[in-house]
Amino acid sequence: MLLTLTTTHQPATDLGYLLYKHPDRVQEFKQSFGTATVFYPEATDERCTAALLLEIDPVRLARSAGRTPDFSLSQYVNDRSYAASSLLGVALADVFSTARSGRCDTRQEVADSAIPLEIVIPVLPCRGGPKTAHRIFEPLGWQVSATPVALDEHFPEWGASRYVRLTLTGTVRLADALNQLHVLLPVMDESKHYWQGTDEVDKLLRSGEGWLASHPERELIARRYLGRRSALTRTALTRLAELGDDSEDALEPAEEEEIAQPAERRESLNAQRHEAVLSTLVDLRAKSVIDLGCGPGQFLHRLVHEPSFTRVAGVDVSSRSLEIAARRLRLDQLGERQASRVHLFQGALTYEDARLSGFDAAVLMEVVEHIDPPRLAALERVVFGAARPGAVLVTTPNVEYNANYEGLTGMRHPDHRFEWSRQEFESWAGRVAAVHGYTAQFRGIGDVDPERGTPTQMAVFLRD
Ligand code: SAH
């Protein structure tokens, strides 16, 4: 099986530095299931191509798959030697591991930039046909050509095989391209040929960093990558939702998936959280609301569309998130009256700020767990002591529920500084309420586990 990677970035031979493979040499890398060879069919300043050729040793493959006993002949006689598959994804990750990390000691600025790339995989199994290839690679900025390969070129009447010739053309950072292939080759193939450990979800999220959370087909990708292990897929999707859609793509609602709808498509935890907080604000008859740590503005979007709020504000420390929020709310297109209802500004919740005062209600949705514990007291003073809204709604993960996410070893999000049990949250909230003259009540959000509670917990603080 073969994969070629071409760039016309000038000088094109920089590709050798980026991949850490010299264009003048042919290099072999032993894999547990065969041998990977890297060589350069062309290497000029204008155009440079690296080829990864993987030769499968069916006997070694059968032995290395020792945990799934299958003594059929198909283990030895199959398409594995020429059709690209998850094995190519594994070899690619191994052979180009440094390039995949985005590091390049000699050409870091090129490694950091999107460069013109063309990737060709002459024979790729493609479940769902060429249209699946388009749905999976186009949202990542690739121009896709997926041509069905004839079953037998001498007998065109036999029709197409289940393979396509895939060509991806685009301007993409090399590390992103390699990580995308690593995840998406097994997704196209939909049969992983190696044992999946419990850290598969972590691996998926690591390789998916920066592109998977906002991919409209992330559900299909996670399901196929994790080999239809539904508990793992649920964990991955929850964690992707926690990572948030901090991207432009996320501005448009994801297309409904046609390919294989899960039997029960449950409302995402994100959506349930938004619903719960919004309905509480409405029940409290709040007129002015400030979203503290609003991020890229998903919840602000809901607030702005609720007519009972006469004034809506969002504050975040991240200017990039605020830019995305402004575009999501189409602030520049709102009429004057609507625009005067909404106010976005940059600020830190750990410093007193007059702009945070004067609201009926404030929302701290999935924010406190991002604050370093030594700075949490400052946030408490700023919000409950100085700004003093009539109500404060705080949501945060319930760490007890994490046991329901198969394969989750650490916290739900790499930036979380802590995750609290229900008891820890309630004692924190009880203390804050007592110190600052509020009363706190608690609610769970999401599916209820009889022992572990709900995935999200909420405290509603009302000023005495
Ligand atoms: N409330 C949003 C975003 C949660 S992510 C939602 O529910 O989707 C946490 C957000 O808090 C991030 O956008 C981060 O930039 C912001 N944040 C973290 N520390 C902050 C601080 N000290 N001041 C203001 N914003 C902060």
The 10s digit of each residue's pLDDT in 270-285 is 889 999 999 999 999 9
Task: Give the pLDDT confidence of 188-197 residue by residue, as tens digits.
Answer: 876 554 445 6
The pTM for the full model equals 0.59
The answer to whether the beta carbons of residues 435 and 448 sit under 8 Å apart is: no
Closest to 121 in 3D by CA, of 158, 153, 169, 56: 169
Site residues for ligand 1, CB cut-off 6 Å: 244, 293-295, 298-299, 316-318, 321, 348-350, 365-367, 370-371
| Domain range enclosing 185 | 2-195
The answer to whether position 320 is within a domain reads yes
Q: What is the CA radius of gyration of the chain?
A: 26
pLDDT tens readout for residues 419-436: 999 999 999 999 999 999
Residues 6+ apart with CB under 8 A from 294: 300, 314, 315, 316, 321, 322, 325, 344
Domain with residue 327: its CATH number is 3.40.50.150
Q: What is the pLDDT of residue 168?
A: 96
Between CA 423 and CA 420 the distance in angstroms is 8
Q: Please give the Cα distance from 136 to 392 (Å, whole number).
A: 41
Which atom of ligand 1 sits closest to the CA of residue 375? 22
Do 135 and 40 reside in the same domain of the chain?
A: yes
The answer to whether residues 297 and 151 belong to one domain is no
Out of 195, 218, 240, a domain closes at 195
User: 252: which DSSP letter?
Assistant: S
Mean pLDDT of the chain: 85
Q: What pLDDT sits at residue 52?
A: 96
Do both 325 and 178 map to the same domain?
A: no
Q: Where among 170, 195, 220 does a domain terminate?
A: 195
Number of domains in the chain: 2
Answer whether residue 68 is part of any domain.
yes
Whether residue 223 is contained in a domain is answered as: no
Q: 401 in the Ramachandran plot: left (φ > 0), alpha (ψ -120 to 50) or beta? A: alpha
CA of 279 to the centre of ligand 1 (A): 21
CA of 179 to the centre of ligand 1 (A): 27
Task: Among 195, 212, 244, give the residue marking a domain's end.
Answer: 195
Specify whether 182 is located in the same domain as 274: no
CATH of residue 114's domain is: 3.30.1610.20
What is the distance between the alpha carbons of residues 254 and 216, in angstroms, rounded to a whole number?
A: 5
Nearest CA, atom 13, ligand 1: 295
Least confident residue range of 64-73, 78-87, 439-448: 64-73
Residue 240 near residue 218, CB atoms below 8 Å: yes
Residue 213 maps to a domain: no
Task: Write the pLDDT tens digit of every residue in 84-125.
Answer: 577 888 899 999 999 999 999 999 999 999 999 999 998 888
Atom of ligand 1 nearest to the CA of 349: 23
Same domain as 163, residue 293: no
Same domain, 30 and 169: yes
Question: 182 and 294: one domain?
Answer: no
Q: What mean pLDDT comes out for the span 38-42?
A: 96
Q: Alpha-carbon distance 344 to 82, whole Å? A: 55
Q: Cis ω on the peptide bond leading into residue 373 (within 30° of 0)? A: no
**Residue 202 located in a structural domain:** no
Gap from CA of 379 to ligand 1 centroid (Å): 12
Q: Are residues 387 and 280 in the same domain?
A: yes
Residue 163 confidence (pLDDT) = 83
Residue 217 covered by a domain: no
Residues 174 and 323 in one domain: no
Residue 262 in any domain: the answer is no
Residue 297: C-alpha distances to residues 277, 326, 353 (Å)? 14, 8, 20
174, 314: one domain: no
